Structure 1
Amino acid sequence: MWFKNLKLYTLTQSVDITEQDLEAKLAEFKFRPCGSQELATMGWGSPFNQGETLIHVTAGRVWLTLKKQERILPAAVVNAELADKVALIEAETGSPVGKKAQQDIKQEIIQRLLPQAFTKNSFTHGFISWKDNLVVVDAAADGKAEAFLAMLRKAIGSLPVMPMARQSVQAELTAWLQDDATPSDISILEEAELKALEDEGAIIRCKNQDLFSEEIANHLAAGKSVQKIAFEWNETLQAIIQEDLSIKRLKFTDVIVEQNDDIPKDQQLARLDANFALMSGEVVKFAERLKVIFQLDNEEQ
């Protein structure tokens, strides 16, 4: 199990809950498939996507999986049926069909077609490290991460978290390039996005570009700031870090990934457990390093 994105949150208070209690509370919001007239459902599923267990614990880190199922009913299909129905009514009555009537007809079409619609499943993974006061969600978008946290909060009653970075780190990211302030364990790669500070300021997106070149230096001197930048940390992982401290396009290097290659491929559960233990351990270490690099523990509470 290798996360591809990281949304990092700090637990601001301890949560008094045992693993058994957590699983029992999650079970009250266990995933169930869409009913015939439901567009979507969401609930907790097995991290291994099999079996009944709703949590998996390794070294005190709790792996959770939020499962969502949506019915796929293309708008083009609904609108085509609506157009045919409206045309038929107008031909029979000789009068145009009003907007409200069309909306009613559209809802009737949706209700009739929903039971026949295909379903699509999606999963949002995350883990909690209670001892590190850390919650991590594998999500590229804020909305997806917030849905995960909201469902967890709904299940256990309280989840006192806030983003690990409570303010933009664009000044620090800019300093990595402008002031030669790159941390010793960070290697800058060849991709970045620069933006002028104005609300509608120019945006420069760079790929396969030496970010310490004169061209980039000129953009920075003109007042642009780093919004996101590609990096490698400690020869362990590569990713894009954004000004809100979101981590995207996360990829662990062979130094990490190959550590579990000795586990036979037919032992799927053992490999998943070992990969999660390895991945989550590295993420915790990385998160702790980010706190130091950006002095996050010094932010006002």
Structure 2
Amino acid sequence: MYFKNAQIYRTSTEWPITLDSLREQLAKRPARHCGSQDGESRGWASPAGGELVHAVGGQWLICLQTETKILPSSVVKRMANERADEIAQRQGYKLGRKQMKELCEQITMELLPTALAKVSRTYAWMDPVNGWLAVDASSKSRAEDVIEMLRYTLETFPLALVRTNRSPMSAMADWMSAGEAPEGFTIDDACTVRSITEDRKEVSYRRGIDEKQIMEHLEHGCLPIKLALTFDDRISFVLTEKLEIKRLSFLDVVTEQIGKPEDAAALFDAEFALMTGELTRMLSAVVDALGGDLHKEEDLISQAKVVT
């Protein structure tokens, strides 16, 4: 159980929620199959085959399961055109735009009951001790699906995006200009820079950074939007201008600590405990390297959403 990405958020360490309460609230909106006329269904599923919240060492893991009917628009359009031709022959004139839209909607409703369904799962780690929430998603929009469902499910939910005193883009530009990462980090061999001009041209280096070329890009108004880093010789990742953590990789010095667990369940727990411990340290170090966290506890509490 290792995350590949981390869309990170801040929760309040004073959030009055217990493990039992979280499980009870998630159980009110469990994962289910799509109904005959449903295009999509979302709900909470067990992340490890047991409880809806998997807990190890005070760290919690949850899972949003989404079932989506697969109904290609090309199929709907083809059937709508065929049916529209038949109708036009009978009535002597073609269907208008509004009628075609209604016909597509009708055909969609007819096909939904027999359409195949695709199931996807998105995991989120909740750290009630240190106030972190991280979603294993490669994009903010995918992570926001989880956040939106949590807001819909929970009675209170004090949460905010991580905000730092320095922007990641500005900090990364300084690190690259100096050729030196902040304490505890090393710069790896991949980055992407983007022009600040209207064309917003991007240049990526994936197998080695040419320092001379990078300096030229920075001098001509380009700014880094992605930078590969390693923390404490234990975790490699890519930091983005949106403060996303991508391409997470826990190095051998970390994974070898697990040893040989007795079974799959023990392995799952060992990996989760190891991952959360390492991520807690790394995320705190990233925020510190960016000048510290702007959020205050009272701000998070005031943003708690109360569901009525």
TM-score in terms of structure 1 length: 0.92
Equivalent runs, 1:1-301 vs 2, <5 Å? 1-12=1-12, 14-48=14-48, 50-51=49-50, 53-166=51-164, 168-211=167-210, 213-264=211-262, 267-297=263-293
- The answer to whether the 8 Å contact 2:151/2:157 transfers is yes
Displacement of 1:241 after TM fit?
0.5
Q: Supply the distance in 2 between the matched residues of 1:230 and 1:171 (Cα, whole angstroms).
A: 15
- The answer to whether the 8 Å contact 2:237/2:247 transfers is yes
Amino acid at match of 2:278: E
Q: Supply the distance in 2 between the matched residues of 1:298 and 1:145 (Cα, whole angstroms).
A: 21
Amino acid at match of 1:145: A
- The answer to whether the 8 Å contact 1:6/1:137 transfers is yes
Displacement of 1:137 after TM fit?
1.1
For the residue of structure 1 that corresponds to 2:47, the secondary structure is coil
Amino acid at match of 2:218: L
Amino acid at match of 1:2: Y
Which sections of structure 2, spanning at least 5 residues, go unmatched? 300-308
| 1:132-151 Cα deviation digits (max 9, x unpaired) | 01111111111121221122
Displacement of 1:261 after TM fit?
4.2
For the residue of structure 2 that corresponds to 1:131, the secondary structure is coil
Q: Supply the distance in 2 between the matched residues of 1:168 and 1:36 (Cα, whole angstroms).
A: 47
Q: Supply the distance in 2 between the matched residues of 1:59 and 1:254 (Cα, whole angstroms).
A: 22
Which sections of structure 1, spanning at least 5 residues, go unmatched? none
Displacement of 1:184 after TM fit?
3.6
- The answer to whether the 8 Å contact 1:165/1:244 transfers is no
For the residue of structure 2 that corresponds to 1:64, the secondary structure is strand
- The answer to whether the 8 Å contact 2:237/2:249 transfers is yes
- The answer to whether the 8 Å contact 2:88/2:95 transfers is yes
Displacement of 1:199 after TM fit?
4.7
- The answer to whether the 8 Å contact 1:239/1:248 transfers is yes
- C-alpha change, 1:13 and 1:238, in structure 2 (3 Å) is closer
- The answer to whether the 8 Å contact 1:13/1:160 transfers is no
Which deviates the most, 104-113 or 36-45?
104-113
Q: Supply the distance in 2 between the matched residues of 1:269 and 1:16 (Cα, whole angstroms).
A: 29
| 1:175-224 Cα deviation digits (max 9, x unpaired) | 1110234124222122111122335433222221324x211111112221
Displacement of 1:77 after TM fit?
1.1
* Aligned-residue CA RMSD (Å): 1.8
Runs of 4+ in structure 1 displaced over 4 angstroms? 298-301
Displacement of 1:298 after TM fit?
5.7
TM-score in terms of structure 2 length: 0.90
Q: Supply the distance in 1 between the matched residues of 2:67 and 2:170 (Cα, whole angstroms).
A: 40
Q: Supply the distance in 2 between the matched residues of 1:299 and 1:177 (Cα, whole angstroms).
A: 27
Which deviates the most, 58-67 or 249-258?
249-258
Query: Which residue is 2:305 aligned to?
Result: none
- Identity of matched residues, %: 27
- The answer to whether the 8 Å contact 2:163/2:293 transfers is no
Q: Supply the distance in 1 between the matched residues of 2:96 and 2:57 (Cα, whole angstroms).
A: 62
Which deviates the most, 146-155 or 31-40?
146-155
Flag the structure with more relative contact order, 1 or 2, with Cα contacts below 8 A and sequence separation at least 6: 2
| 1:157-181 Cα deviation digits (max 9, x unpaired) | 2221212235632111111110234
